[in-house]
Chains A and B, each alone.
Chain A
Amino acid sequence: METELLLAPITALEIVGDHLLAGEGPNLAIYSLEPDGSHSARCSKQVLRNCNIHGIKEQQNVAPEASGSAIVAIFGGKNLAVVRLSFQNGQVNIVELFPLCELHDWIWDLQWLDSKAETPNCVALALGHNSVALYDCVGQRVFQEVHCQEKCILYSAHLVGSNWDALILVAGTVFNQLVIWGMADPPEGPGRIKPRCRISGHKGVIFSICFMESKGILASASDDRSLRLWAIGNIRAPPEHIPCLLVCYGHQARVWSVRLLSDCIISIGEDSVCLVWDYKGEIVQSFKGHKGRGLWAVAVHEGRRWVFTGGTDSGIRRWSLKSQRAGGSSLSQLNFTSPKRKGSPRVVKLINVNRLLILTDAGVLYLYDLISKVWVSFLEDAAYRSYGLLEVSEIVGGAVVCAMGNLSGQVKIFPLHSPTQSKDLQLYEGKVHSLSWAPFPGQHPDTCSLCVSGPAGAMLWLEVSCHPHDEVTVVVKQCFLLPLCKQRWHTCATFLPHGELLLCGDRRGSVMVFACRPALTPEEMSGSGELDSSGSGVICETPGLLFPLRGDELCADGPVSLLFGLHGKLGVTSVTCHGDFVYSMGRDGCYRQLQVQGHQLQVLRKQKPCRSLEWLEELRFAPDGSMRVLGFHAAHFVLWSARTNETLLSIPCGGGHRSWSYSHCLSAETFAYIKSGDVLVYHSEAIPSEQCVLTESLHGRELTCVCHVATLRSPQQEPVSILATGSEDNTVNILAFGWQSRSMVQLTMISDHISSVRALAVAKSKASHPESTAAVLFSAGGRAQIECYRLQLSLSCGSCSGVSCQLVHVASHRLDEQWDRMKNKHKYIKMDPETRYMSTVVLNNAEDVEQPGSLLFLAAACSDGSVRLFLLLEHAQKLWLVAESFHHQRCVLKVQAFVHKAPGGKRRHFLGSAATDGSIAFWDITDTLDCATEIIRTEGREVELLALGTPVLTLQAHSCGVNSFHVQDVADGIFSVASGSDDGSISISAVEVNDRSAVSGESAAGTGIRILRTFSRLGAHAAHVTGLRLLPRDFLLSASVDQRLTLWRICKGGLSFVLSKFCHVADVAALETWEVDSNCGSVICGQGLEVLSCSLEEQGTEINDVV
């Protein structure tokens, strides 16, 4: 059994030369820090055996001939390894220098000692019970071990010095103290060394210690969530009383580690935040982006001012420390009010990062230049007093066009370079509600389209041409009618790439498409009328429109497809096209991914990019496809990076109701807004440098479930396995694992769950094609929530993972939906249990997933003691509860399904359910399924809740909870049932389904199943057996919280042990297996993810020999 890939929490980081060394479980991964920025892992190797790496220390002052290589000690738990790294031609080699050593106690810190002739490779090891060992790597022995009088266990230790005789240990004790003692001090009493000093002050245990010799400052980080700085001076002669320089409270949870740098202090904590402090105790920078619960490791490259962090999410990120000369960005007030300027600013629009337009309530338009700081008043029109709309657009040809709208239905359009050339159009009888520029695909570079909403839902599409030397021409292309609602105007518009459709969002939250009429031919053009009699040269291509438009007798086109109120009552803010998809944003905090098929809009997914962004305004796609979101969080304008999960910019502007504008270019960005009658501008000459992701985040918290979706095969015959993982962090990841490259890539993330995800089930397509497949995925978990998706997977050369994954949300189900819809719910106490789904399984239907209109049944084990059956109608996007039973009366932990095919071709469906009392119940659900199918097929309505009846068989398999359960068809109506329990036991039964009874008497179905034989193996594992899979040829694979993966073979008399492997995922929660190239691929998840492969062929021969 071989480990193919391990994703584990990052517990150690260290810079060695121009490389970053990371400890991921027992593996040492090396990343190059070459300036090319690719930072991909150069190499990874397991260096420790059964411990995780907690520290990495490079041996300094190595002989000069050893340049291009480094000697590094790696330690964690009781393991110590010393390796030589050699860097040549961009390649890294890791060679074990001395054999792995297992110490008698936990190693908290290690210090290389100066090489002497007689002891060339010695290290000092600070051990778990406040002792220090002098260890000789060459001789593989502990020369000496000295103990401190304070003999309690430690939570941290920090060695200072590189010479045994002058070595000092600063130990963080379980009693919240720092104890400082010297190795060479004479022992007192029973051979123990008296501490030179003790520092008290922390109210919790100390997790990290750092000492900076040059400043004489000691730093400590603690359980009490503070970090403290102590003025210790000379650590070899500490003063009697050590003054506390600083107490820093800034983390929202415990502080795990602290580092002292020359000009700042860096701390990381359980809140997944890395804080940069100055020596006055102020936070200079904060790095947020890692998912979930905690950062464990931090390393700093002082030369490049880079900080690397790694954490629970098994991701590694790089951040940049601000340079000493901060600046480059400023938030300034423009002091608009002046006797020289008229009115008070109402609308602000940025033309680009350096120029902005202001429309005042006196109807005056000002231009301001951020560089010259000059105000220019260049247009005044009393018709735009008190109410005026303003939109600017830089058209392809380079000219800037402005459009203004007013209360009396007028629109003014003019090029910025000559405002006097304005076109004034009387479009409506009443107020112009909104204006928006939208480039029309394939348009002339000097032309841009403008959408204008007036009263009664009339929206005009105008084509504006603005040649540098000619005057502005305007063509009224078409008039559209928005759906009926109170605030009936559009908020955003964009043309789809082919120009046939106009996509719009409105104030009511609806998203719609209008069909664009093709451009008129010159002959038709001649017949089209002028807008008005003034001879303005404005052409109207739509006959029958009389300007100004009046609401009642409008000849306008309604939407060809409408999703009414999609974004809720607060409205749609923007619509964007990217790739083959359409995205709409709204003030509901979500964006939708949509598809337009045959002029019809279809919602694929709804996503909330960031929990704290209540309003989304815009989505921007970088060339690499990564997303940036503009939105508002309370009173702050926020620029959010979806890729790195990070706030790039946050401006306390007062909220999104005010007039604001954001513009950016490659080297600068500007955000302008109006507040208290003045214009404020944030301007930065350096685009906020996004953190660099060296290793992607997996999940923020423990993984609870994993399932294999499909295995695709590249043209080069490389198998690529698609996995889905669910986690306590409420998300599901779809991952692609390439067996040859041994790399895992995240394809997409699902964040629709409001509580933890505990179970996944997949209905695979039967028509399998090596390069593409489809599947239906169910995810279920806390708050009685089930979500259902259709996955379309195919190999693609374009994407970095080599796999394209399209996910469509199909249906949702909540047991307590009525509660969610209830008003004033804070006044009531919810009496219903918050049921968790513990396990789900898709029933093996005869029907194929690919077939439209197929029915899928899902069974769920529920924490409220019930087994429930659901039915998915994919075409109707409905998931219905059809049957339930409270037979168990205890939390049901696992469900499995199996089908028996009787000789007559009749299929009987069975369900097995296992509970916390160790019992397994078997149900014959054939009649229930038939009944539900019949009702749906004939009446097409929701089924009234059916009863599941009573189990046909129950089996007391274990003394306590069943944590793993698998049923497999053996042959001729015989099924193998395997279960593993909390008590560490595995139970195997053979169950027979009797054909005769199954065929003849439907009513006497209870007699149709019986146990042939059953046996248990007690103490198969030392902890809960949380994963169990029956494999071909009577093999059985079990996984447990004791971190052993054991392969067994089922023999007549019981289970015979084949082999066992220590696995590096703590708190194993689930095991999944599938066949890959005649090998058994398996994956376990828990605090991380490990992919393994096992050849049963080899094992088979060995066992046969034994037997």
Chain B
Amino acid sequence: MREYHLFQGVSRAVDLCAAPGSWSQVLSRKLKGEGVKNADVKIVAVDLQAMAPLSGVIQIQGDITKISTAEEIIRHFEGQPADLVVCDGAPDVTGLHDIDEYIQAQLLLAALNITTHVLKKGGTFVAKIFRGKDVTLLYSQLRIFFPDVTCAKPRSSRNSSIEAFVVCRNYNPPEGYVPNMSNPLLDHCYDVDFNQLEGPNRVIVPFLACGDLSAYDSDRTYPLQLDPAKEYTYTPPTQPPIRPPYEEACFLKKHNLLTKESTPQPQQQVTSREPQQQEEQRPGGLEAEVIDALEELST
């Protein structure tokens, strides 16, 4: 993201949907500099879930669709608006692209809505975006608030990935726009002139591939032993998910406790050659209940 000079002159930054906190870490390092403490820089991280504490990052556990969250952010900045708002949140994808793209767009619009409450005029908004079938609708929406919208994809992101970032600069809401959190911002619809469904006129923003070409290529397969002098060691992922929804299901699966369809079990068969034991048939559970109930009624 160096190409954008995103961090130049930024002293108040907001990280929305921050958990587990990687962007906050980057912001903290970039804005405060390694080792040097810059007292003017403030970073506020917001998420619904609790995060592990990060040094130099103020954390708010809150809902980005609530006005109270916006107010709390401003409070931390002592009444000043933010210079930069970042939203790297993404939903768990279902695999149906239309639903996934819609949910991601709503997340971005919710982030944009709270951003209009906290961002200074001329400020920057960076958010994760899925480049799918209706991405031009989001671009046209963002253009209303930001004259300068570009799409950026880090080289560390895989070539085939639909994930990218929109970098919106120079925040400039339409004249007379009053930030309003009581209703969600909805995405645009296709129109016949400027953003057509099937025509030549579509809102497509400039694209920038960012990052260093000499860095590792995420699409390339490398040998495990990159350095012949060093032996390969396994490194676990830095931040495993905290309490994922499937935790209990995985526990049950691991211990073979998921409900299974019953398989046929052998029954003892009494052959006619052997004397058949005449046993009174016990009524089944359901019938027993009915009989009990009838008896109760009759008394």
User: B-contacting residues of A (Cβ < 8 Å)?
Assistant: 9, 11, 49-52, 76-78, 102, 104-106, 128-129, 147, 151-153, 155, 174-176, 190, 202-205, 207, 222-226, 248-252, 254, 256, 270, 275, 277, 281-286, 293-294, 296, 312, 329-335, 338, 340, 372-375, 650-652, 680, 682, 829-836, 863-865, 890-891, 893, 916-918, 959-961, 963, 982-985, 1018-1019, 1021-1024, 1041-1044, 1057, 1059-1062, 1066-1067, 1087
Contact = CB atoms under 8 A, between A and B. Distances in A.
A1023 B131 contact: yes
B273 A375 contact: yes
A256 B96 CA distance: 11
A664 B264 CA distance: 18
Contact of B266 (A226, A331, A830, A1018): A331
B242 to A, nearest CB: 12
B65 A831 contact: no
Interface stretch (B29-37, B76-84, B117-125, B203-211): B203-211
Given A105-B186, A286-B261, 15 more contacts: A11-B96, A104-B186, A222-B245, A226-B248, A250-B258, A270-B95, A332-B266, A332-B269, A833-B221, A891-B221, A917-B217, A960-B155, A983-B207, A1019-B204, A1060-B198
A556 B160 CA distance: 63
Given A250-B258, A335-B268, A985-B207, A1066 B136 contact: no
Contacts of B278: none
B155 to A, nearest CB: 7
B221 A864 contact: yes
Given A249-B258, A250-B260, A1062 B273 contact: no
Closest 6 CB pairs of A and B: A204-B245, A225-B249, A1066-B97, A891-B219, A833-B221, A960-B209
B238 interface: no
Contacts of B222: 833, 864
A252 B254 CA distance: 11
A1023 B162 contact: yes
A284 to B, nearest CB: 7
Interface string B246-271: 11110011000111111111111111
B4 interface: no
Contacts of B102: 77, 106, 128
Interface residues of B, number: 79
A660 B183 CA distance: 69
Interface in B99-154: 102-103, 106-107, 110, 131-133, 135-136, 139, 153
Nearest to B136: A1022
A963 B198 contact: no
Given A249-B248, A332-B269, A863-B219, A151 B95 contact: no
B197 A984 contact: no
B197 A1062 contact: yes
Given A961-B219, A1019-B204, A312 B95 contact: yes
B174 interface: no
Contacts of B266: 331-333, 680
B200 interface: yes
A384 B274 CA distance: 28
A225 B246 contact: yes
Given A1021-B204, A1022-B202, A1062-B198, A283 B261 contact: yes
B272 A373 contact: yes
B162 A1041 contact: yes
Nearest to A333: B266
B224 A151 contact: no
B267 A331 contact: yes
13 contacts: A128-B106, A174-B91, A224-B245, A252-B258, A282-B259, A293-B95, A332-B269, A333-B269, A374-B272, A835-B221, A918-B209, A1062-B133, A1087-B97
Contacts of A340: 273
Contacts of A176: 245
Given A249-B258, A335-B268, A890-B220, A1061 B207 contact: no
A52 B98 contact: yes
A251 B250 CA distance: 11
A496 B162 CA distance: 56
Contact of A863 (B221, B245, B261): B221
Contacts of B271: 334-335, 373-375
A890 B213 CA distance: 10
Contacts, number: 248
B272 A372 contact: yes
Contact of A224 (B63, B202, B219, B249): B249
A66 B207 CA distance: 55
B225 interface: yes
Nearest to B134: A50
Contacts of A204: 245-246
Interface in B171-219: 182-184, 186, 189-190, 197-200, 202, 204-209, 213, 217, 219
Interface string B39-72: 0000000001000000000000001010000000
User: In terms of DSSP, what is the predominant structure of the interface of chain B?
Assistant: loop
Nearest to B182: A190
A335 B247 CA distance: 46
A844 to B, nearest CB: 28
Nearest to A276: B261
A650 B205 CA distance: 57
B247 to A, nearest CB: 7
Contact of A916 (B159, B224, B263, B268): B159
Contacts of B253: 252
A1060 B219 contact: no
A1023 B161 CA distance: 10
B92 interface: yes
A11 B204 CA distance: 29
A1060 B15 CA distance: 38
A271 to B, nearest CB: 11
Given A335-B271, A1060-B200, A285 B209 contact: no
Given A333-B267, A1023-B135, A1067-B162, A982 B245 contact: no
Contacts of B284: none
B223 interface: yes
Given A332-B267, A891-B220, A1041 B189 contact: no
Nearest to A226: B249
A999 to B, nearest CB: 38
A224 B246 contact: yes
B261 A284 contact: yes
B248 A203 contact: yes
Given A333-B267, A680-B266, A1066 B98 contact: yes
A1023 B129 CA distance: 11
Contacts of B189: 78, 102, 104
Nearest to A250: B259
Contacts of B96: 9, 11, 52, 296, 1066
Contact of B223 (A128, A332, A831, A961): A831
Contact of B153 (A829, A831, A982, A1043): A982
A1042 B223 contact: no
Nearest to A223: B245
Given A151-B184, A252-B258, A835-B221, A50 B197 contact: yes
B228 to A, nearest CB: 10
Contacts of A256: 94
A1043 B133 contact: yes
Contacts of B272: 372-374
Contacts of B232: 829, 831
Contacts of B206: 1018-1019
A286 B260 CA distance: 9
B132 A334 contact: no
A176 B162 CA distance: 26
Contacts of A203: 243, 245, 247-248
A863 B220 contact: yes
Nearest to B48: A175
A977 B28 CA distance: 46
A282 B262 contact: yes
Contacts of A1060: 198-200
Contacts of A284: 261
